[in-house]
Amino acid sequence: MAEQLAFSDALHAYLREVSLREDPVLTALRDFSAQLPGGAAMQVSPEEGQLLALLVRLTGAVNVLEVGTFTGYSTLCMARALPPGGRLTTCDITDRWPGIAVDYWRKADVEDRIELRIGDARETLDALHQEHGAGHFDLVFIDADKTGYLHYYEKSLELLRPGGLVVVDNTLFFGRVVDPEAQDADTVAIRAFNAFLREDERVDVSLLPMADGITLARKRSA
């Protein structure tokens, strides 16, 4: 049985050559975002964006929630995958980076599918629960401040329908999760989140060894 491959630059390039379907709007947004401070690290990879779009289609998601927008690359990928009448709600603590996204959403003709909410994600998630109640969303993507992950996850489960999917980014956190000397708040929070999710019987779970670690958690029926 083969173990996980170590991806060389050549193998990564091959992967994109035979799999990636990134159009000019997405490429332009990715290239622009990479020039921003911390942009290369904060933005999802194009293959992850493509996976998110596939997951939206596979789950038949109509209502999608995203916690952490940045410049809206993942938002755009998922919004394009929605069926007619579908809606994506994305939230960020500041409008500094999402403000860049709007022009690209418009160019891709998906601006009308996206609702952008600015403010503390905890307050936004509480507001969404008050507005829509439990079980409104079909898929939730979490890619925000790492110390907030456990809270966002719990709120997401409340907002998610049975059989819905939570997707969590950065759960291997640049490999720091296995470095005993890495005791910063973000790394400690990711370790705790991963350990918690491993034992959470409310979901079926798989941590994919892709990008910076992507965890899939499917909400079980009660």
Q: With respect to residue 100, please indicate whether it lies within any of the assigned structural domains.
A: yes
Q: With respect to residue 87, please indicate whether it lies within any of the assigned structural domains.
A: yes
pLDDT of amino acid 214:
98
pLDDT of amino acid 2:
62
**HSE toward the beta carbon, residue 166, CA cutoff 13 A:** 29
Q: Which amino acid is at 46?
A: P
Residue pair 90/72 in contact by the 8 Å Cβ criterion: yes
Nearest in space to 76 (alpha carbons), one of 118, 110, 30, 115: 110
pLDDT of amino acid 5:
78
Instruction: Give the number of other Cβ atoms within 10 Å of residue 137's Cβ.
Output: 24
Q: With respect to residue 49, please indicate whether it lies within any of the assigned structural domains.
A: yes
Domain harbouring 113, CATH code: 3.40.50.150
Q: With respect to residue 2, please indicate whether it lies within any of the assigned structural domains.
A: no
* Number of domain units in the chain: 1
Burial 87-96 (b: 16+ CB within 10 A, else e): bbbbbbbeee
Residue pair 211/157 in contact by the 8 Å Cβ criterion: no
Each residue's pLDDT, cut to its tens digit, for the chain (222 residues) gives: 467 778 899 999 999 999 999 999 999 999 999 999 888 888 899 999 999 999 999 999 999 999 999 999 999 999 999 999 999 999 999 999 998 999 999 999 999 999 999 999 999 999 999 999 999 999 999 999 999 999 999 999 999 999 999 999 999 999 999 999 999 999 999 999 999 999 999 999 999 999 999 999 999 997
The three-class DSSP label of residue 131 is helix
Q: Return mean pLDDT, the chain.
A: 95
- How far is Cα 147 from Cα 150, in angstroms, rounded to an integer? 8
Q: With respect to residue 146, please indicate whether it lies within any of the assigned structural domains.
A: yes
- Domain containing 20 equals 9-219
Q: With respect to residue 176, please indicate whether it lies within any of the assigned structural domains.
A: yes
Q: With respect to residue 4, please indicate whether it lies within any of the assigned structural domains.
A: no
Q: With respect to residue 121, please indicate whether it lies within any of the assigned structural domains.
A: yes
